[in-house]
């Protein structure tokens, strides 16, 4: 989505910048067709061959298939368009640049014709209008969107061309067709019982937020005492790592509050100017607030709980209440798409992470005010998400399922905190064994006559870990493989191929399961233990 946004910042993007501008097409720049005041706006990917010949959307095989699922009463209320208006050569997927060049045309048409819902078929229109990817995880959901002054619901759906392929799958075909048909039926029945979308107005994104960046303890105490009064509120912390057990691990900032009232507090960010005695008092204030406040909603609560219990005490897991908007999202739909940016897109029509420029992998290096604002908006929208998702869970009678998931949270955190003792002698034994196998395999490769000939010809040692060397060797041995991926190498009946696979597999085992767990490995923390992640 950032790539697309980057392109769009260039106001010069238009047909002149697009590589499809010079394509020899029967109907270039195909205009939308159908209703001029549509209820339903159908947005496809791009014209295919038949569409280009006839100059109308969805009239080829995929189009005929799709039309079978549309309720006939609606045909006069539908408008047809595609994410891009020129047919790409060979029907390839449109590039990001092509999408960016066409985007303002499609947006303008939606704003002018004001549909209630947009049905987007496939991943391409989804990317165009939301920046999201992964149509399998998005289909069947609905997203409130705003383009300038027009708000509408976006329904991501599978693409009919995918359906034409999927229905031939003997095992899954009928299942896919039911999914496709149900998704479309749900969208049309939604139009019948329409509820206006309320996508967030981004001009208010940073409203109701107070950054407590003046290093005034009284101000922090007053603000947290106020937040503590709310029955429910959002809570988020920013840290300098994923786990609190490393030397130097620290909580940089904390943000807490509701959609109407959020505060962000610097703690140990590099720019935080607390004196040591003030920092001690600040920790006390934070602990009191955490212990004596309403339900704290986090997005992935195990993270906040692990850090806060580590630095402020495990009583926080028992003596106060917590909620988890990620667990809510999981109970509502267990597919991928549970990060906060997915949830804000789904509920409020925008990707929260796209609103910030900070490098989330190194927040201590970012400017404090940027981190505080980043932190605060996460807490603000976590609070907002908790209410909307709770209402849906209630409607679907899923609150007990969510409660059950939530009940496991602190147990898992405690298990993560307790950690596991690595069996170092055994890990070292396996490390040695793998290393020996790799040395033996490398030696055996070098003894192979074909390899020796290759080395002589190329005047260098053959490296089984270099894909260039492997491809070149296989070709010189007469095996016309296309790449050096496992399935290709497995086809080759030559000992060198088998040896290469052994070396590679051992290397993978070593780097994933062995090296990180040896003393000083990256999965062994300062206390000498492994602290994993257990999911509820
Ligand atoms: N026909 C179109 O007009 N668009 C598509 O995405 C597929 C077929």
pLDDT tens for the chain, 536 residues: list them: 555 665 555 556 789 889 999 899 999 999 999 999 999 999 999 999 999 999 999 999 999 999 999 999 999 999 999 999 999 999 999 999 999 999 999 999 999 999 999 999 999 999 999 999 999 999 999 999 999 999 999 999 999 999 999 988 877 778 899 999 999 999 999 999 999 999 999 999 999 999 999 999 999 999 999 999 999 999 999 999 999 999 999 999 999 999 999 999 999 999 999 999 999 999 999 999 999 999 999 999 999 999 999 999 999 999 999 999 999 999 999 999 999 999 999 999 999 999 999 999 999 999 999 999 999 999 999 999 999 999 999 999 999 999 999 999 999 999 999 999 999 999 999 999 999 988 888 888 888 888 999 999 999 999 888 899 999 999 999 998 989 999 999 999 888 898 889 888 999 999 999 999 999 999 999 999 999 999 98
Identify whether the C-beta of residue 190 lies closer than 8 Å to the C-beta of residue 255: no
88 CB within 6 A, ligand 1: no
CA of 233 to the centre of ligand 1 (A): 45
Judge contact between 377 and 171, C-beta under 8 A.
no
pTM comes to: 0.91
Q: Which of 50, 54, 63, 158 to mutate to test the pocket of ligand 1 (most atoms within 8 A of CB)?
A: 63
Atom of ligand 1 nearest to the CA of 57: 3
Which residue from 60, 90, 122 has its CB within 8 A of the most atoms of ligand 1, so it is best to mutate?
A: 60
Q: Are 419 and 525 in contact (CB under 8 A)?
A: yes
Residues comprising the chain, all counted: 536
Q: Alpha-carbon distance 426 to 439, whole Å?
A: 20
| Strand residues in 122-185 grouped as ranges (E) | 143-147, 150-157
Instruction: Report how far residue 4's alpha carbon sits from residue 96's, in angstroms, rounded to the nearest whole number.
Output: 6
Do residues 42 and 152 lie in contact, with contact meaning Cβ atoms separated by under 8 Å? no
- Name the closest-CA residue to atom 1, ligand 1: 58
d(CA 205, CA 350): 10
> Counting Cβ atoms within 10 Å, is residue 91 exposed (0-12), middle (13-18) or buried (19+)?
middle
User: 448 is written with which tokens?
Assistant: 């192979």
Instruction: Using DSSP, state whether 261 is helix, strand or coil.
Output: strand
DSSP codes, 187-216: HHHHHHT--------GGGTTTTEEE--S--
Distance 58 CA to ligand 1 centre (A): 5
Q: Are strands 209-211 and 261-266 parallel, antiparallel or unpaired?
A: parallel
340 neighbors 299 (Cβ within 8 angstroms): yes
From the list 151, 144, 142, 145, the residue with the least C-alpha distance to 184 is 142
Where would I find the H helices in 14-95?
49-54, 61-67
């Amino acid at each position: 989505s950032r790539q697309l946004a980057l392109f769009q910042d260039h106001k010069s993007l238009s047909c002149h910048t697009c590589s499809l501008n010079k394509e020899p097409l029967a109907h270039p720049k195909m205009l939308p067709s159908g209703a001029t005041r549509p209820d339903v706006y159908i947005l496809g990917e791009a014209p295919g061959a038949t569409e280009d010949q006839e100059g109308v959307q969805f009239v080829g095989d995929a189009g005929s298939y799709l039309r079978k699922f549309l309720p006939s009463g609606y045909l006069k209320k539908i408008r047809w368009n595609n994410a891009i208006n020129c047919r790409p050569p060979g029907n390839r997927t449109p590039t990001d640049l092509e999408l960016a060049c066409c985007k303002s045309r499609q947006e303008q048409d939606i704003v002018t014709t004001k549909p209630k819902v947009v049905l987007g078929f496939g991943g391409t229109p989804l990317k165009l209008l939301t920046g999201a990817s992964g149509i399998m995880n998005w289909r069947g959901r609905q997203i409130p969107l705003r383009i300038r002054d027009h708000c509408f619901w976006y329904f991501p759906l599978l693409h009919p061309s995918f359906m034409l392929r999927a229905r031939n799958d003997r095992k899954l075909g009928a299942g896919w067709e039911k999914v496709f048909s149900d998704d479309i039926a749900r969208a049309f029945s939604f139009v019948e019982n329409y509820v206006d979308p309320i996508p967030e107005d981004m001009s208010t994104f940073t409203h109701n937020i107070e950054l407590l960046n003046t290093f005034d303890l009284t101000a922090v105490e007053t603000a947290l005492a106020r937040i503590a009064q709310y029955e429910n509120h959002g809570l988020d912390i920013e840290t300098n790592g994923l786990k609190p057990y490393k030397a130097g691990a620290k909580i940089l900032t904390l943000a807490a509050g509701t959609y109407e009232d959020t505060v962000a507090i610097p703690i140990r960010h590099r720019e935080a100017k607390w004196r040591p005695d003030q920092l001690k008092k600040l920790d006390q204030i934070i602990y009191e607030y955490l212990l004596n406040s309403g339900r704290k909603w986090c997005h992935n609560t195990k993270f906040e709980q692990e850090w806060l219990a580590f630095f402020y005490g495990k009583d926080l897991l028992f003596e106060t209440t917590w909620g988890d908007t990620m667990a809510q999202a999981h109970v509502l739909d267990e597919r991928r798409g549970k990060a906060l940016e997915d949830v804000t897109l789904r509920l409020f029509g925008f990707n929260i992470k796209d609103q910030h420029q900070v490098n989330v992998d190194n927040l201590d290096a970012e400017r404090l005010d940027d981190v505080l604002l980043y932190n605060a908006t996460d807490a603000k929208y976590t609070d907002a998400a908790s209410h909307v998702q709770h209402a849906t869970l209630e409607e679907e009678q899923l609150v007990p399922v969510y409660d059950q998931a939530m009940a496991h949270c602190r147990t898992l955190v405690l298990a993560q905190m307790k950690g596991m003792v690595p069996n170092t002698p055994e890990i070292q034994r396996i490390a040695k064994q793998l290393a020996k196998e790799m040395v033996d395999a490398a030696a055996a490769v070098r003894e192979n006559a074909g390899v020796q000939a290759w080395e002589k010809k190329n005047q260098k040692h053959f490296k089984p870990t270099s894909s260039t060397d492997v491809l070149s060797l296989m070709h010189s041995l007469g095996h016309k493989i296309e790449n050096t991926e496992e399935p290709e190498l497995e086809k080759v009946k030559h000992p060198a191929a088998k040896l290469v696979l052994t070396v590679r597999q051992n290397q993978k085992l070593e780097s994933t399961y062995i090296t990180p767990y040896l003393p000083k490995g990256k999965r062994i923390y300062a206390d000498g233990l492994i602290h994993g992640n257990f999911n509820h």
